[in-house]
Amino acid sequence: MLSEICDIVKGKQINGEYLSESGEYYVMNGGTEPSGYYSEYNVKANTISISEGGNSCGYVQFNNFPFWSGGHCYSLQNIADIVDNLYLYHYLKSKEEAIMKLRIGSGLPNIQKKDLAMFKTIVPPFEQQITISTFLSSLERKAEIEERILNVMQKQKLYLLQQMFI
């Protein structure tokens, strides 16, 4: 069970009037993108978060930087020494659809902490976890690079098309 290998910590809500459009620390709530920025953080870098509420509840994210975990966000903390943090992220990301099915309610759907705590996880030997997470992380980096290249090529194509019809 997920609760046997880490602590599932619900974030703390910040009033929207304290958020800004830019800043040092992003605020994660129930979405896939930051809700805004804040001057403080309450979760350290390299932490897995799972959206607790809203249409994207169950969204799994790896946070490379410190951030503020809002009231509709869970963060996985104090991960057991026998579990590689990146392995757990990749495992949960691969099970994101199943995590999203834990949602209840229709107006503002959410995932209950007790249900997330009972989510079954597979934890192979540590060396195997490292091999898996290293491989998947390198694939993820390659996909990000390819996406950047595609974006640059699309901009270049648009520029060239505009030059053709001047």
Residue 28 pLDDT > 80, yes or no? yes
In CATH, 2-123 is 3.30.70.60? no
More confident of the two residues 129 and 18: 129
Contacts (Cβ under 8 Å, ≥6 apart) of 9: 43, 69, 74, 75, 76, 77
Strand order in the sheet with 68-69: 36-38, 25-28, 68-69
pLDDT at 166: 67
Q: What are the tens digits of pLDDT across the range 46-91?
A: 999 999 988 888 999 999 999 999 988 999 999 999 999 999 999 9
pTM, full prediction: 0.82
Domain ranges of the chain: 2-123, 124-166
Residue 107 pLDDT > 90, yes or no? no
Mean pLDDT value across the chain: 91
Q: What is residue 102's DSSP assignment?
A: T
Residue 165 pLDDT > 80, yes or no? no
pLDDT at 139: 93
Average pLDDT, stretch 3-20?
Answer: 87
Least confident of 15-24, 59-68, 119-128: 15-24
pLDDT at 35: 85
pLDDT at 109: 86
Burial per residue of 42-74, b for 16 or more beta-carbon CB atoms within 10 angstroms, e otherwise: bbeeebbbbbbbbebbbbbbbbeebbbbbebbb
Average pLDDT, stretch 31-51?
Answer: 90
pLDDT at 32: 86
